[in-house]
Amino acid sequence: MSYYKSAAKSTITKGQISVIKMAQGKLGITDDDYRTMLQERFKAKSCKELTFNQAGALIEELQRKGFVLVGAKTVGAGPVGAVREPPLREPPLQGESPRVGNEPQDLKIRAMWLSLYDCGIVRDPSTTAMLAFVKRQTGLDALPWCSVAEKSNVIESLKKMGDK
């Protein structure tokens, strides 16, 4: 069952594109598999060709595959303005650093770091390199120890790196 009202918007939103790309990465879906899924289900080569409702259906499908959408508002899934409770903190997965955290700002910093790596701006995509950058910016060794303001400064610094 779909929760969508008839959408006044006929094109996919930037927020929906971000959620789809985040889900693709979190689920480990390769580009080839992703494009095949788009072609088979929606006859589209890129998510930018999807309508608002098709993007919502794709997000729901990715959620059925295990993607968990956490944030202040859901984007293209569920009633507008619906709020989801963040998951309880779990111990880090094997090989994952407890110094990264899973707060929205922590995840944004990690995503921006990886995006900068994809663009060729950052040479090392590792968590260790990202945490070294955070330490240079804040003087703290772990993201969970940073205040919201310090994390905002890190995010702004990453944006400036991307603008160059």
Domain ranges within the chain, ordered by starting residue? 1-87, 104-163
Looking at per-residue pLDDT, the higher value among 72 and 142 belongs to 142
Please compute the mean of the pLDDT values over residues 46-56 and round it to a whole number.
Answer: 86
The answer to whether the CB of 133 falls within 8 A of the CB of 113 is yes
3 pLDDT higher than 50: no
Residues 6+ apart with CB under 8 A from 154: 109, 133, 134, 137, 138, 146
| Cα–Cα nearest to 113, from 97, 98, 124 | 124
Q: What are phi and psi of 140, to 5 degrees?
A: -110, 145
135 pLDDT higher than 60: yes
Type of residue numbered 27: L
83 pLDDT higher than 50: no
- Count of Cβ atoms closer than 10 Å to residue 45 Cβ: 10
**What does the mean pLDDT of the chain come to?**
77
Model pLDDT, residue 97: 55
